[in-house]
């Protein structure tokens, strides 16, 4: 984890190798036991606040500046693409950068949420109405943000090359985007440590760490 944030699905070391995502990060699980969710989230928030973009994030941002990239469609929730300088970032699974009161819809920042937890609030509550705070991330059982999903599909329809970076391509509907691109004639480059369901359809498959491979690959295309 070059940026200091653990991933979710890597065998043995991913977050979901230790915890059941439907118990921890489903909408029904959150509503049933928000305290359990926040106990799980607290170290992830700390990692996110301390994280810095790695060479993969930086190379993607530099590539966008060449005018050859339509932007980034990401399942990540850490905001590191923006911190690296990417301007067009579609966050399919939302972001930890903000949270929302489930009663009055008041927004708070990542730092505000972390401070509440650090001070011992087991379930952060809205300072105005007392409603439960929920991070602006897409939980299991929740639909993807409609605006982000529509923009992602539009970008996929406009491109002739999709570089899949560090995704298992097992989580839908996000995993349907490379399939959609391939069906419309776009070429796929898949970079992931492990095999994915789209490897056979890709023009290039690289099983390696993104931070080591992606900067070199994108530099060749500038």
Supply the CATH number for residue 115's domain: 3.30.1600.10
- Considering 57, 81, 93, 207, which one is annotated as catalytic? 93
With beta carbons less than 8 A apart as the criterion, state whether 20 and 14 touch: no
Q: What is the pLDDT of residues 43-85, one digit of tens each?
A: 888 888 888 999 999 999 999 999 999 999 999 999 999 999 9
Tally of CB atoms within 10 A around 15: 18
Question: What pLDDT sits at residue 22?
Answer: 77
Provide the domain limits for residue 197.
Answer: 53-93+143-222
- Nearest residue to 63 via CA among 220, 212, 187: 220
pLDDT of residue 14: 45
Q: Are residues 221 and 189 in the same domain?
A: yes
Q: Given this model, what pLDDT does residue 19 score? A: 63
So what's the pLDDT on residue 48? 83
What's the pTM?
0.85
- The count of structural domains within the chain is 2
| 150 lies in the same domain as 214 | yes
Which of 116, 137, 158 finishes a domain?
Answer: 137
Catalytic-residue membership of 154: no
């Amino acid at each position: 984890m070059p940026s200091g944030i653990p991933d979710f699905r890597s065998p043995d070391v991913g977050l979901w190798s230790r915890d059941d995502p439907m118990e921890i990060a489903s909408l029904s699980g959150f509503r049933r036991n928000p305290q359990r969710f926040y106990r799980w989230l607290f170290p992830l928030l700390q990692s996110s606040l301390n994280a810095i973009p790695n060479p993969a994030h930086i190379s993607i941002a530099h590539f966008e500046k060449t005018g050859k990239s339509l932007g980034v469609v990401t399942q990540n929730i850490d905001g590191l693409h923006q911190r690296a300088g990417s301007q067009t970032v579609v966050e399919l699974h939302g972001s930890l950068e903000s949270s929302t009161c489930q009663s009055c819809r008041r927004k708070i920042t990542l730092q505000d949420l972390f401070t509440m937890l650090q001070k011992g609030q087991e379930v952060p509550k809205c300072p105005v109405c007392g409603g439960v705070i929920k991070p602006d991330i897409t939980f299991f059982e929740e639909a993807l943000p409609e605006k982000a999903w529509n923009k992602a599909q539009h970008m996929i329809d406009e491109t002739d090359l999709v570089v899949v970076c560090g995704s298992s391509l097992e989580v839908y509907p996000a995993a349907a985007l490379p399939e959609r691109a391939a069906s419309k004639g776009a070429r796929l480059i898949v970079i992931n440590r492990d095999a994915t369901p789209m490897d056979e359809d890709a023009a290039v498959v690289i099983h390696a760490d993104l931070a080591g491979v992606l900067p070199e690959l994108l530099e060749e295309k500038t």
